[in-house]
Structure 1
Amino acid sequence: MKQRFIQGLSPETIHLLSRIHRHSYHHQVRQRAHCILLSFEGFNVTELMSIFAVTRKTVYTWLDDWDNHCLVGLYDQPGRGRKPKLNDVQKEQIRAWAKMTPHNLNAVLAKIKEAWNIAVSKTTLKRILKSCSMSWRRLRRVVAGQPDPVEYETKRHQLEVLKRQEEKGELDLRYLDESGFCLVPYVPYAWQEKGETLGLPSQRSSRFNVLGLMNRHNDLTSYVFDKSITSAVVVACIDDFSRTCDQHTVVVMDQASVHKNAEIEEKIEDWKAKNVEIFWLPTYSPHLNLIEIFWRFMKYEWIEFAAYKCLGSLSLYIDKILKGFGKDYVIDFG
C-alpha cells in the first residue's frame, strides 16, 4: 500500500502549526495540527494511528482536510457531528424549570421526558444549564423581607452624603455590628487533591461574640465577649468608644432590637454631647453596612483551618485578626 505523507510545508506554516499544536483551546485542533506536522516529518499512517489512538479512516480524513482546506481543515465545520436533541426554545424552558427547582435536577429530567418524550442524561442537562449561564454554587442566606422603598432611597442618599463628608475629613463614619464565632467551621470549599478529602473538626462549643465599629480606612475598634450581646452591652461599647473620638463621628447600625429601643434612645443626646451621632440603616438592608464585609472576610478567608482545633486556638485567631486589621489584614472598600 502506498504511504501517504504531507509535503511542501513552508517554514512559516510549520511555525503556525506548532503554535496551534501548543496553544489552541480545542483539543481536536491541537491533535490535527500535530498529526500534520508528524506526517510532514515522515511518520506513516500506521504510526499516526498508534500515536493518536484513532482509526486509519480518521487519519486519512485529517490529511484530506489539510490538502483540501489547509488551516481551515483543522477545525470542525458547521453541520458536522450529532444533531442536538433539544432546540433553543426547549433549552430556555429547561432553564425556567431549573429555576423552579434549583436543587433537584431529577425533577427537571422528569419534565423533559413528560413534555417532549426525550431522555437526556444528568450530565447533558448540566451542560445545557451551563450554556444558559447557570452554575452550581452555594446558596446565600438573605433577609426575609424587603425595605420600604421610600425609606431605603432616603437613607441611601443620606449615607452617600455622609461618605462624601468623610472623604473630605469632616467626620469619621463608623459601621457597627456584631458577629459570633464558634467551633463550627465557616470554610465550605478548599482545593484538594483528587481522591483525597480534607476534613475539618466541627463540634458544639461556646461562642465568642464580637462587636465592632469599623470605618472605610480599615480602622477598627472591637470588643469580644463570651456572653450574649444585649442593649446594655451595646451602650457600654459606644460609651467606651465615644471617649476616644476626637472628631465628629457618625455610627451606622441596623435597626435590630438591641440597637433601637428605649435603652439606646436614652443615650442619644448624651452621645451627641460627646460628638457621636447614630445613623440607623433602613430595615432589611444589611448590604449597606460595610462591616458585614469584614465579618465575611474573617469567617471565610482569614481564619485558618487550625483555628478550629479548640476554643483557645479560635480565640487566638480572632484576637490576631482584630488586632492586625488595617496592617496584616486589609480590605479595599473602593
Structure 2
Amino acid sequence: MAASIGVRGDYSASDLRSLARRCGDAEQVRRLLAMASILDGGSRGEAAKIGGVTLQIVRDWVIRYNAAGPDGLKSRKAPGKPPILNDAQRQALAAQVEAGPIPAAHGVVRWRLIDLAQWIWDEFGLSISKQSLSREMRALGFRKLSARPRHNGQKADDIADFKKASPPRLAGITRSLPKGTPVELWWQDEARIGQQTKLTRRWAARGTRPSAPRDQRRSSAWIFGAICPAEGKAAGIVMPACNSEAMGMHLEEIAFHVAPGAHAVVILDQAGWHGSNELVVPPNITLMPLPPRCPELNPVENVWQFMRDNWLSNRIFKSYDDIVDHCCFAWNRLVDQPWRIMSIGLRQWAHGF
C-alpha cells in the first residue's frame, strides 16, 4: 500500500470552493472541489466520487496541489509525441531548401516533399512522412510559390550594389538642384498587350483543369507606364510601337504630372530607346538607369502583373482599337486607385533617401 501524503494547509476548504466558483475551467473546478472535500476531512474515496476519477488520480492531484497550490490543478495540454526534427535539423532543412537541389546530385530540379524526406533520411537517418514534413515546412515559413523568371546573365551582386548605391545617388541629384526643390521618385517601364493574352490562375474544382479563351492573332499595343509610389501618381500612354519617339512622348507625359516646382528622378531599365541620342528629356526629369538584366528592381513589373491578372488577361480582343480601349481602361482604373499604386510600388530601400 502506498504511503499516505499530507495536504498543504495554506488554503482552507472554503478558499478552494471560492476559487472554484470563479474558475472557468470545468476540469480544474472538479479538482478544487475534490481537494476541498479532503481538507474538510473527507476520505480519498469521497474525493474520487466528487472528481469522477480513480483513487490513484486523486493521489496525483494531491501531489500537483502540494507542489503548486490551486494553479497546479489547472488543465494542462498533453505533451504529445516528441517532434521528429530538432532545432538544428530544422535549420539545416531550411538552408537546404533555400539553396535548392543540385540536379546532378539530387536528380531533381526543384524540391518536392518526397525528395526532402529522402534528404532527411540520407542526412540524419530519420524517417518522416510527407504530411509531417509539410507541417514542418509551413512552420519554417515556406510555401509553394510560383517562381518569376531571372535572366541567366544577371550578375549576383548587381541588385544589392544598386540598392546600396541608390540613396547616395539620389541625394547627389537633390544637392545639384536649387535649394528646397522637392524630388519625386518615379519608375518607368513598358508592357506589350496583344491578342495572344496570358492565362492566369483561377479557382476551380480540385482535380479539374480549367480552360480560358486564347486568341491566335498577333495584333498588339504597348503601354508606356510610370508610377510615383510616394505620391500615388501614375502617368501612361498607349502606343503602337516601342521607339525613341514614343519614349519622348511618355517623358513629356511624366513631366506634365510632376508637381509644379518639383524635379522627377525616373528609374528605368537600359532598353535602347531609353538612352537614344534622339531622346529629348524634359528639364524637370533626370533619368537613372537600372543595372542590366534586373527587372525585379522595377515595381512597374508588379503593376503589369496586377493589371494582367485583373483586367487584361483571359479575354479576346477584337481588333487593335479594342486592345487600345482595354489598355486605356485598365490604366485609368489603376490611376483611380492611388492606394494601390502605393501598395505595389513603395520600396523601403529606394524611398528612404
TM-score higher than 0.5 here?
A: yes
Structure 1: 5+ residue runs without aligned partners?
A: 1-6, 19-32, 50-54
1:318 maps onto 2:330 in alignment = yes
The aligned length equals 289
Q: Separation in 2 of the partners of 1:14 and 1:166? A: 75
Structure 2 match to 1:277: 286
The equivalent position to 1:202 in structure 2, one of 205, 212, 232, is 212
Query: Shift of residue 166 of structure 1?
Result: 11
Distance 2:56 2:213 in 1: 58
Alpha-carbon deviation of 1:124?
A: 1.8
Find the counterpart in structure 2 of residue 34 from structure 1. Answer: 26
Match of 1:134 in 2: 141
1:23 matched residue in structure 2: none
- 157-166 vs 140-149, which moves further: 157-166
Match of 2:104 in 1: none
Structure 2 unaligned spans of 5+: 1-12, 35-46, 102-109
Deviation at 1:318, TM superposition (A): 0.6
Counterparts of 2:64 and 2:54 in 1: how far apart (Å)? Answer: 16
Cα displacement (A) at 1:255: 0.9
**Which position in structure 2 is the counterpart of 1:71?**
71
Residue 30 of structure 1 aligns with which residue?
A: none
CA contact (8 A) 1:211 1:224 kept: yes
Asked whether the 8 Å contact 2:187–2:268 carries over to 1, the reply is yes
Map 1:51-90 → 2, pairs under 5 A: 67=65, 69=68, 70-73=70-73, 74-76=75-77, 81-90=80-89
RMSD over equivalenced CA pairs, Å: 4.9
Structure 1 vs Structure 2: percent identity of aligned residues?
16
SS of 2:128 mapped into structure 1 = coil
Which residue number in structure 1 is paired with residue 190 of structure 2? 178
Q: Structure 1 residue 329: deviation in Å? A: 4.5
Q: Deviations over 1:248-278 (max 9, x none)?
A: 4443211123423xxx2222xx435x54432
CA separation of 1:120 and 1:266: change in aligned 2, threshold 3 A: same
Retained in 2: the 8 A contact 1:308–1:314?
A: no
- How big is each residue's C-alpha offset from its partner over 1:223-251, in whole Å with a ceiling of 9 and x where there is no partner? 134x5534443233335555776654443
Compared with structure 1, are the counterparts of its residues 291 and 148 closer, same or farther at alpha carbon in structure 2 (3 Å cutoff)? closer
Aligned to 1:29: none
Alpha carbons of structure 1 residues 167 and 107: separation in structure 2 relative to 1, 3 Å: farther
In structure 1, distance between residues paired with 2:123 and 2:232: 56
Which residue type is aligned with residue 277 of structure 1?
T
- Distance apart, 1:81 and its partner CA: 4.2
- Show the counterpart of 2:268: 253
Please list the CA deviations of residues 112-134 of structure 1 after superposition, one character each: whole Å capped at 9, or x if unmatched: 33445432211222233344x23
Contact 2:270 2:290 in 1 (8 A): yes
SS of structure 1 residue aligned to 2:272: coil
Equivalents in 2 of 1:167, 1:58: separation in Å? 84
Which amino acid counterpart does residue 177 of structure 1 have in structure 2? D
Which of structures 1 and 2 has the bigger CA Rg?
Answer: 2
TM-score normalised over the length of structure 1: 0.62
